[in-house]
Structure 1
């Protein structure tokens, strides 16, 4: 068995940490906007139901936000420990973009998060709503800068190379690089879909257990409504993103499609198959003629380059991205179908009584999270073997460290993440099991504030008392 190199271990470590990280910011982005909607509806209608839902989902948000921050801090250190040559090469661009994220987004979120979580009885309703809006806007601004930085690594623009390093020439071109608009919208919608799936699954689970009250019905209906709106839009955005990727990263598209030969007169779509990088073929491929051209060029006979058009050292691993992409798309189709069936059942007056559908929605709870993760795997694995596409190879970006050093830190991360995030996820599931409470909201807000005061304003400790054993 071939020993893993420092490069292999550094890639595994970053893939491991970023996979844990990405699901929590996605949940934070979606929940922050959901909370803003709930509080806005409460201010408009004075219906305590919306406040009850807000108080409950703000606790879920607090736990998810905390885990997202912790996992994000770890990743920033990895740029220095494992990928210092990347930082040296591209730091003049990626450094300022990440600094803008901290100054404009993280400070905004951190500054108003305490008011949002613990200020119900300490500030006026409008001031509290302003704090919730500030946190929601902060999560979206954070998405903007992170996606600007990551998208630049895929489609670099507005730069020059001097003395072997990238230097900025036009910040507007850097930020609004060719793939950025598509990836920003795609990620934001994915976060909303992830959140809606979790909220819908929570509502369905409580309905199955016989809790059929106004709060459960309301959050279940709102989540299905969000899915009904966002999933078809996501499909359209994904289509536009695919066309953009074909233009700027054609090797990635060929790998996603498991396409080896450039077909003239129309390209077939491989529905399923098993790409073999060594044999340069896709085994057991189930093809639909011309469908690849229709999807990726919007024409019957559009040409798509095959992987053999690219040097072997420039090809992404087709087996990985072929299946990660299909898992993402398959879950997306299931989510669209679930939302459409929910609409039909609502019109028939059977939405809350159809136990088969409620079970389906419970199973769909992780769908948005898994689809988001598969999308990032497709994006990042499909960029290989480049860290900055066409400019810096992954093998040239790793720090001068030994395999033993990276291996030890990877082992520590695996153990720590298993304990910390395993506990956090278990904690979240217990919180979701309790569901929103229907007791007097003013009393609940006072209890929450007293809990915060006694726990030193720890957002995790603040929700602990509300989790039933």
Structure 2
């Protein structure tokens, strides 16, 4: 039987589509900004030329990712007014100022120093240039702070009261530092660094497989794997703490993630595999381990987890979607830990740069950071449903009074434009990554002798400056 989608369903689909495109670019730029700052600090300390080569190369990738992140973010801000005017009217007194703080602090900081970072190598002193790079990196982290504060408030709202159908802020400290904020901030920041580390490592693996063994390729490969060795296990611990927080404040989300329908007394099993059935209120073909759910979710042998049947049917999230998105995230996270540990073992054996099988593994893992990020986002946002502000405002109340035709036409336009614009941008990024850092000069350089940087684009001379961030890249697009 054919069922047409309502304006509400299409508005949700449109926002999911646009935010999925948006989230990957800021995550990459957050991680790369800090990576570039570390590289430049190493160059200032050692004056080794390959550090500067890496700075110049990854700055090109950062410039493209930053530009696409800004463009996709602007579109989302308009959607709040066009498709979700009910939410904007109700929660605007809280979310509006938080997003304004992000623009006034983070975006202005990034935009103010981005030009110096990309084009100031010949125009300011090395220390001044490093200061600009550091400001851009700090700006990306401040942006993460404010965006996660806003999103976390929607998940665990506090510090407000509702007057005449509108949220009125009462305590900004409680609004910003709401119960889930510290866990979400740490989880997202670490995820951004892992995304960037996987991209850098995969790029290094590609060039190692192609036969390059120059210091720049080895160094970025080594640094990325070192970061993964540390951050992938840390992310698992942060995720565990986040899960405990979620069980306390959003118990329906935890029940949906685990496919738990009945509250088990004396200990809850963990469903490793299964197919949750929302209509039959059961998880079919479940493969369970007794008491493991209690150990993971309560850190006790007999901890109690409320099942979905304990909550009204109209307040339950989509369990099949959450069940599998969460398991995709966890399984890929375990592979990232394996990747870091394997790299450490090969490093100890002295075969890190020669193990082609491991390099193929690293190359295959390159996109998994983005997949894990999207799976985590689906788990977080779909698990909040049917609430847009958890326990306060339902998503159905937030949608604008539009027809399905109006939303459908704009959705089709977004799909066409996004695949054209961002498809081209992604293709361009892949071309940059395939080219890699500049090959070392044949003439040797003293470790303490600074080299003149390569000009970012053939059309730029020392007296010319690009007027657009993406002009920092010098790789032409060809078929």
Alignment TM-score, normalising by the size of structure 2: 0.96
Equivalence for 1:27: 28
Whichever structure has more helix as a proportion of its residues is: 1
Equivalence for 2:18: 17
Q: Cα distance 1:455–1:408, how it changes in 2: closer, same or farther (>3 A)?
A: farther
Q: Which moved more, 1:322-331 or 1:454-463?
A: 454-463
- Aligned counterparts of 1:163 and 1:213: Cα–Cα separation in 2: 66
- Aligned counterparts of 1:462 and 1:148: Cα–Cα separation in 2: 32
Equivalence for 2:467: 457
Residue 182 of structure 1: how far off its partner (Å):
0.1
Gaps of 5+ in 2: 442-449
Residue 164 of structure 1: how far off its partner (Å):
1.2
Q: Cα distance 1:75–1:447, how it changes in 2: closer, same or farther (>3 A)?
A: closer
Contact 1:267–1:289 under 8 Å retained in 2 = yes
- Aligned counterparts of 2:73 and 2:173: Cα–Cα separation in 1: 26
Contact 1:200–1:362 under 8 Å retained in 2 = yes
- 1:68-120 CA distance string (max 9 Å, x none): 00000000000000000000000000000000000000000000000000000
Equivalence for 1:374: 375
Please list, as runs of the form range in 1=range in 2, the aligned pairs for 1:219-234 lying within 5 A after superposition.
219-234=220-235
Residue 457 of structure 1: how far off its partner (Å):
2.1
- 1:310-332 CA distance string (max 9 Å, x none): 10100000000110000000000
Equivalence for 2:50: 49
Equivalence for 1:329: 330
Equivalence for 1:418: 419
- Aligned counterparts of 2:336 and 2:420: Cα–Cα separation in 1: 31
Equivalence for 2:6: 5
Equivalence for 1:301: 302
- Aligned counterparts of 1:177 and 1:446: Cα–Cα separation in 2: 47
SS in structure 1 of the partner of residue 438 of structure 2: coil
- Aligned counterparts of 2:78 and 2:458: Cα–Cα separation in 1: 35
- Aligned counterparts of 2:472 and 2:233: Cα–Cα separation in 1: 38
Contact 2:36–2:58 under 8 Å retained in 1 = yes
Asked if 1:350 corresponds to 2:319, the answer is no
Equivalence for 1:236: 237
Contact 2:63–2:472 under 8 Å retained in 1 = no
- Aligned counterparts of 1:103 and 1:466: Cα–Cα separation in 2: 34
- Aligned counterparts of 2:46 and 2:371: Cα–Cα separation in 1: 36
- Aligned counterparts of 2:169 and 2:458: Cα–Cα separation in 1: 47
Equivalence for 1:124: 125
- Aligned counterparts of 1:414 and 1:325: Cα–Cα separation in 2: 26
Contact 2:118–2:472 under 8 Å retained in 1 = no
Residue 447 of structure 1: how far off its partner (Å):
4.6
Residue 438 of structure 1: how far off its partner (Å):
3.1
- Aligned counterparts of 2:430 and 2:439: Cα–Cα separation in 1: 20
Residue 395 of structure 1: how far off its partner (Å):
0.5
Residue 212 of structure 1: how far off its partner (Å):
1.4
Equivalence for 1:156: 157
Equivalence for 1:38: 39
What is the number of residues matched between the two proteins? Answer: 469
Contact 2:456–2:472 under 8 Å retained in 1 = no
Gaps of 5+ in 1: none
Equivalence for 2:277: 276
